[in-house]
Chain A
């Protein structure tokens, strides 16, 4: 099985989807001739022609708005917003239009689009190249929200998202594009070629939307994580020696509640980690669900380790990013309660 980076896996997913379905079209800023600022669409214009993979004007609302019109026609656009930090001009189109067209037209019109966007911090991206805006989308009924954490899932989830009949917000943690990252910025980065999840089937396969994966079996505390924080949680468990069960949520909406509830009822403890800011972040929804469904099994308050409630800073990157030390402290607190 070939080894791929997350970038190569994403590119492979789009390539296979375009090959299998002539209705799949790909566009965004610098996506066509150049192949994307992160190389996720490299070579696709040469292979499929410029009417199926093309560059757009710098207008996020134009990219998503035209994609919605194309979907109404019957195409399956998979579009890119260069950074999740720049999705806001398209927010009206996503929330008021893409998410609701099926509902408001009683299924006459549908919106099978994928909006890919690199997200997350840990790269000295500062305020507008580091954000994790997932909670702005999980609050929107009619959307699906996906955050892969490795090349295998990125490919399988993206193919599933492109084939899905509903609009999917696909957040790609750019910190994971070239290799896993556990928050130890002082150590050299290991590439995906040295990680088992860098093994990616070259052909067509899907990872179902709405299904979480237990990434580390454990009996003491459940950690709910996604994206980069999966590796941070793994490092924290190893460094504290706490037998944590780490769940990679993969899809935030719809959520795999059964997997979460089963684990927390077993461990009796739960720590939620995400890069996004704390207040009204997705962790709040997770905490409320765990409290509601696991109340009589909980032996400690549900913990949350997240980015601070500040804009994402530049110089203070590693004081902001919730690294293994902070996650480890939360695990210890959960065990001591």
Chain B
């Protein structure tokens, strides 16, 4: 045994900590347009490379290039730009509302707007998302009223969830948005079950599961991939890799795997990696994966490479664990600015119209906020009733809950 030195434990560390100079030189970024677009019925074994590359459409000059481009009209792109701008303005206002004590909590999407906004446009009515807490773009791009989102955030008398849920844990069956849970990863395997149910019922609808880079370490991630693979469930399994799980850099969850997408390969699931800050690329990949599912060709795993520009939540201060200016060094830029530049280059947009649109979007968010605040905020105005606290635990209230409701004086 003398031949072996003592063992030592490897604990991964991010390249840079606070005070250091941001460095993403270790993140290889392929040229836009350089990754091929396989047919949707491709054999997963033939596209293993796609799990290690990054599908990108918009190049540095703002042009849409390569085989994944050419899917969206000017109108569709302008709509997408507006959705992302709306989500960003919504975030800004709700962040402020939290600081003003109008709600207890908020989580923003800064930098990740393209992922959920563009993905939503690849779905059909009736499809179901099983989102995390950072895909509100699915609601914004799906036409869910901002006032209802705010009513939920304010836990007011018009809150669709009757004040029972922490802010941003939205639910809308009608808009294909499954009830958000605080427990990470749980919904990833539920999405697979929903998709299996659609297949069992010979339906045409598909499901989408969502998970962050950190939560891929949960057992539910593994179970979801096993079941999706075994039953070839019509589901798109989305990993949003924003580099950070609160304070923990993605290397802790990823370990020795080259990429998160690569995890799909061991399950025989085609795995694609996409530039999460490129609205056109996200849409193109989402549509490819959705079409695969809809044609009963089975699941697809998609890793969206992006960066969490904002704090994890209103309870978090990222300057304690990463350089303050790290987001500015992120090589994939800002999804809103990149789409704006592309539209300007296309001749469909201008700096002036963009400034005007920013003001319009902010106005619409403020109008919605005023409307929502008429129904109350967390500590003032209208509230959900205490009776609502006892309802809905079961379809019918059992005797012990009736006794407790009586004790509570309602």
Contact = CB atoms under 8 A, between A and B. Distances in A.
A104 B164 contact: yes
A57 B189 CA distance: 13
A166 B173 contact: no
Nearest to B185: A92
A68 B223 CA distance: 14
A103 B178 contact: no
Given A104-B171, A106-B171, A92 B398 contact: no
Interface residues of A, number: 45
B192 interface: yes
Contacts, number: 143
Contact of B160 (A62, A103, A106, A110): A106
Interface residues of B, number: 46
A74 B222 CA distance: 25
Contacts of B226: 57, 59, 62
Interface stretch (B63-71, B238-246, B284-292, B388-396): B388-396
B100 interface: no
Contacts of A255: 400
B197 interface: yes
B162 interface: yes
A159 B199 CA distance: 25
A102 interface: yes
Interface in B341-360: none
A141 B390 CA distance: 11
B195 interface: yes
Contacts of A110: 395
Contacts of B194: 69-70, 72-73
A51 interface: yes
A257 B189 CA distance: 37
B186 A92 contact: yes
Contacts of A89: 219
Contacts of A125: none
A52 B196 CA distance: 11
A73 B395 contact: no
A142 B394 contact: yes
Interface in A87-101: 89, 92-93, 96-97, 100-101
A106 B220 CA distance: 25
B400 to A, nearest CB: 6
B207 A109 contact: no
Contacts of A74: 197, 201
- The 10 A-B pairs with the shortest beta carbon distances in the complex, nearest first, are A69-B193, A66-B193, A65-B189, A254-B398, A73-B197, A62-B223, A69-B190, A105-B179, A69-B194, A165-B395
Interface of A: 25, 51-52, 56-57, 59, 61-62, 65-70, 72-75, 89, 92-93, 96-97, 100-110, 141-142, 144, 164-166, 210, 254-255, 257-258
